[in-house]
Amino acid sequence: MIMKKIWMIVLCSTIMWSCSNTSPQHDGNSETTETHEHHESADVIELNNGEKWQVNEEMRPYVEKGEALVENYIHNNDTDFKSLAVQLKKQNELLINSCTMDGKSHEELHKWLHPHLELVKQLEDENDADKAANLVKKLKESYNTYHSYFK
């Protein structure tokens, strides 16, 4: 459990650092600010005045590739969920490294990305095929959520 928390802190810190977040910081020390920002990521994603948020062009291919991996896995009745997790993790790393977004769209994307990363991590750690199948369904739902809020 502690290792999972440490992993999430490292991952979230990497995401925040990689994405060139230029939003204003809250008063207090950086640890408090980071913790506050991570709690915000669990919030409900908001639309941009009723419209979908624009995602930077250089980021889209990694979301699309990850989604295609999940779709193909489901369509082909694949059972190698460990391999799927590795491939999704790679796409997520590329997505994070390509992030140049900032401001409100960046914040809203992170509200989708943090739970999505956690699902991939859970899939990577899973050993039970039935539980893994449920996680794959949740990943498909995660991509559907992405399309509901981002273009």
Q: Tell me how far apart the alpha carbons of residues 81 and 72 are, in angstroms, rounded to a whole number.
A: 12
- What confidence category does residue 32 fall into, taking pLDDT thresholds of 50, 70 and 90? very low
Q: Which residues of 46-72 are buried (b: 16+ CB within 10 A; e: fewer)?
A: eeeeeeebebeeebeebbeebbebbee
Instruction: Write out the two tokens for 112.
Output: 């989708």
Q: Tell me how far apart the alpha carbons of residues 42 and 139 are, in angstroms, rounded to a whole number.
A: 16
pLDDT value of residue 19: 52
What are the pLDDT digits (tens) for 65-96? 999 999 999 999 999 999 999 999 999 999 99
pLDDT value of residue 90: 98
- What confidence category does residue 49 fall into, taking pLDDT thresholds of 50, 70 and 90? very high
What are the pLDDT digits (tens) for 96-134? 999 999 999 999 999 999 999 999 999 999 999 999 999
Q: Which residues of 98-121 are buried (b: 16+ CB within 10 A; e: fewer)?
A: bbebeeebbbbbbbbbbebbbbbb
pLDDT value of residue 43: 81
